[in-house]
Amino acid sequence: MSEGVLETAREWLAQDPDEATRAELSDLISRAEGGDSAATADLHDRFDTRLAFGTAGLRGALGAGSNRMNRVLVSQAAAGFAAYLRDRAGAETPSIVIGYDGRRNSDVFARDSAEIFAGAGLRAILLPRLLPTPVLAFAVRHLGASAGVMVTASHNPPDDNGYKVYLGGDDDGAQIVSPADAEIAARIDEVAARADLGSIPRSDDYEIADESVVEAYVTATAVVAPAPAGAAGLNWVYTAMHGVGYETLARVLETAGYPAPTVVAAQIEPDGRFPTVAFPNPEEPGAMDLAFETARGADAELIIANDPDADRLAVAIPDAAAPGGWHRLTGNEVGLLLGWRAARTATSGTLACSLVSSPGLQTIAEHYGLDFTATLTGFKWISRAPGLVYGFEEALGYLVNPGTVRDKDGISATVAILGLVAEAREEGRTLGDLLDESAATFGHFASGQVSLRVDDVSVIGRIMTALRAAPPASIGSVAVERMEDLLTAPEGSPRGDVLRLWLEDGSRVIVRPSGTEPKLKAYLDVRGESAEDAAARLSGVDAGVRAVLDAAQA
């Protein structure tokens, strides 16, 4: 048994203010001291490394230890971030807005942060209750704050939580990017090295934001797409996926003039246990089953789902050929529909998407004479595209109102989709008809994803190394024309741990590690002469990519 890890655990225990994690850690230490090898291994997993602070902030499983989300780690992060903001502000007093969702301990982490920010001399403003992430992103700009923190793990598994960071000023309310992440991380490490949480100043002198902030978000979001006449009688279903979206969305719907949905009752109230889903992510198999069941019972025309912090949106439409009679649209399908909507009314500006999202957005931009930008994954990059009028990423993220929010926003995207549906209804058409028209106008694009979840994240590194050392000559029966390694991309181009393969038939495969989960992801994009041709091409690429990844693991 390593005495070092025991000593580290005891130091952590001495400063932990949380009764639950103290009991958890105390039990582990006792068992390890008694020779329990499983307890010793658990301590090493919790303390041999530290949950890294990066451009996604912090995200990880709840529990005691430096490699978990807990009150010690969050307090250290708040103190380090406060020091960074004071350095950045110079003689001025920085201000910061803190929001939180319905996950376990989100409210606790938010109050700890508010107290520590106030104790550091910042003007700290805590949102009045649990609210969606887009409201926090909006509040940073609306209040002219120096920064914002949202306590959420978005659509991660139930036992996770996270700490998402935004910057005001020149960053205009966007999420942090390099070098800010490294500078903040260095400040956090300085706090953690002292191992003395009790010495961090705290104060109850923080503000609670009033309802005017939420009202301003509701008003700004409702004007994204005021309900046209075709909205009357719209019969649709909504699920909040046990998250915090519905209260705010309902106010937006009323203001914009849309009929209220039939809700998935078992999932409409915030519940951090997420009892009806294994993963609270509309993309995951089974996550929308209750929504499909509700929609069949209501004979609905449309299903809309938000993820737990309501920054993502999923859409499903009736499809007799689909299992259960409902088909969930891909993120790319929704993204291209909303991109088409934005392009029709824009006279200038940029459509942007992450480089793993459908190349169809570039086709739309070119059709309307607009600029196009492909960025690294994440809205921290998409939101910074010059002249942005619309941005999306295939992982169900859409930014339809960049003048209001500089992050993906599942609530404003819901209003935009409802606007499209209502306009189509006026013409006796459906969202499916709009998809067909889009394909006829811009091309038959099809996309897919191969996702490899691992227990040991080092496996991902080994696969990426193997692919770089011996790039595949073909994907299935189609030859690889070239492979681009974005680690060595030219100056000015997106750089990251990403491999982009171009096939001879114009198809594209992009491979990268997930930024938030222990997964390796491969993104597949094809364009066919028809929907059937595109589906056939996609099937061949999918099989070929799976074979390549299997070989890289061997």
Which residues is 512 bridged to in the sheet?
Answer: 521
Choose, from 154, 358, 412, 447, the residue flagged as catalytic: 154
Question: Residues 412, 406, 213, CA angle at the centre, nearest 5°?
Answer: 65
Tokens representing 52 are 């890294």
Asked if 399 and 409 count as a contact pair (C-beta separation under 8 A), the reply is: yes
Asked if 302 and 236 count as a contact pair (C-beta separation under 8 A), the reply is: yes
Which residues is 305 bridged to in the sheet?
Answer: 239, 314
User: 179: how many CB neighbours lie within 10 A of its CB?
Assistant: 8
User: In angstroms, what is the C-alpha Rg of the chain?
Assistant: 24
Asked if 109 and 68 count as a contact pair (C-beta separation under 8 A), the reply is: no
Which residues is 351 bridged to in the sheet?
Answer: 372, 390
Which residues is 96 bridged to in the sheet?
Answer: 124, 147
**CA 79 – CA 96 distance, rounded (Å):** 13
**CA 381 – CA 48 distance, rounded (Å):** 32
Which residues is 208 bridged to in the sheet?
Answer: 126
**CA 261 – CA 417 distance, rounded (Å):** 14
Q: What are phi and psi of 66, to 5 degrees?
A: -70, -15
**CA 135 – CA 307 distance, rounded (Å):** 14
DSSP codes of every residue in 142-209:
HTT-SEEEEE--TTS-TTEEEEEEEE-GGGTTEEP-TTHHHHHHHHHHHHHHH--GGGS---S--EE-
483: helix, coil or strand?
strand
H/E element holding 139? helix 133-142
Asked if 351 and 360 count as a contact pair (C-beta separation under 8 A), the reply is: no
Q: Peptide bond preceding 494: is omega within 30 degrees of 0, i.e. cis?
A: no
Asked if 291 and 316 count as a contact pair (C-beta separation under 8 A), the reply is: yes
Catalytic residue check, 154: yes
> Which alpha helices (DSSP H) does 16-70 contain, by range?
19-33, 37-47
Could you give the residue numbers annotated as active site? 154
